[in-house]
Amino acid sequence: MRKILIVLALALTVPALALAAQPSQPGKSAPKVQYVLKGTLTSFTASTGGADGSITFTVTKANRHRAALKDQALTLMITPTTKVVLDTDGELTAGETVIVKLRELQRTTDALALLSGKDARQVIDQDS
């Protein structure tokens, strides 16, 4: 009888321990936000044949997430999925005004290091 009570006590204890030891939930990561950067184009290399291109520009304006980038040079990757909207002349040349959009983690420190080399989602040529 004593063995039955011990087995019964263990049988009731194991599920209680399993319920108490819930798997830990992974920590929340920083949310991604859209950055809208306006600037003067320095250089542009289109993505061709599946190879990535790049865009380098000096930021003149930014949305509130990246206002600290003003007057800094930034280089982003142009992938085959990046949408490039050209003006009436059909090309991007140095000195033109561009708007570049990208999604990245919301951070408050070292914005230039965070965004350098990331993929641009959209490039819009503003000059005509």
The string of pLDDT tens digits covering residues 55-109 is: 999 999 988 767 778 888 999 999 999 999 998 888 888 999 999 999 887 766 6
Task: Name the helix (H) or strand (E) containing 50.
Answer: none
Backbone phi and psi for residue 75, each to the nearest 5 degrees, phi listed first: -115, 125
Query: What is the CATH architecture assignment of 32-125?
Result: Beta Barrel (2.40)
Domain boundaries, the chain: 32-125
Angle subtended at Cα 118 by Cα 33 and Cα 67, rounded to the nearest 5 degrees: 50
Task: Name the helix (H) or strand (E) containing 55.
Answer: strand 53-62
Tens of pLDDT along 31-54? Answer: 788 889 999 999 999 988 889 999
